[in-house]
Amino acid sequence: MTVPLLKLNNGVEMPAIGFGVFQTPPDQTIAAVETALATGYRHVDTAAAYLNEREVGEAIRRSGLDRSEVFVETKVWITDYGYDETLHAFDKSAGKLGIEQLDLLILHQAFPGEFELTIGAYKALETLLADGKVRAIGVSNFMADHLARLFEATSVVPAVNQLEVHPYFRQSEVLAVDAEHGILSQAWSPIGGITFYRDGSHGSTLEDATINEIAAAHGKTPAQVMLRWHLQQGRLAIPKSVTPARIAENLDVFDFELTAEQLTAIDALDTGVRGGPKPEQITRENFGIVIPEA
């Protein structure tokens, strides 16, 4: 299966559907990523804070695929923000992944309480980009005000902004800002997994009546409908699973099309309730994990 490519604002192309490994234990990561690559995924999204970069790299090597065939994305954690610290964070991640050049390196959080370090970290990303150590740079969980502050202090517009986006939390304002500036929005928790494993107060997207009705009309699953919703609205998506059947299901989304009415119906499910932490909750006190050297 060939996954369509989306072009970033610097001309680099990346697969529209990637494979996520958030909360995938290291001892399950190699098998999950190997399965994903064998199924047809060509983009893997990890992060220093997931503590499974080494296993992602090992799975890519075991896959037998040429390095150029796999788009590798990882993220710098807040405890490695600051110019020199982030340059070193690249060395740590590249070393664990066992690769010399990253396809996409992004800042994991806006870290608004110490934003001067965020600016320093992003300037380090700009240096890594200029030096050819990364092919594209971006951010994650940046709201409109964070992007505005970043634009004022830096020169390279992020290629990607990775955000919590699913039918129950669409984040329309920041999606519009991303689009206005040529930033591709990338959805984490794209099928709303966070709505049922962290906060089920407004129910599960997988059991939503509207989504299930649309799924039945197309002979698809609710998860496939939600992934198709992202694709048709121009977003990258990174579903995660360790179950081979689900891994395959999440990639089987290129043989049907939602109608304009169906897209609108899914948009209307937005509750405005965030499942993940608010940006201002990301502080050194709450999330100050130290990323190991090796």
Active site residue 168: no
Contacts of 77 (CB under 8 A, 6+ apart): 47, 48, 49, 89, 108, 109, 289, 291
- d(C-alpha 36, C-alpha 44), whole Å: 9
**Other Cβ atoms closer than 10 A to 123:** 18
- Name the catalytic one among 41, 50, 81, 122: 50
Q: List the catalytic residues.
A: 50
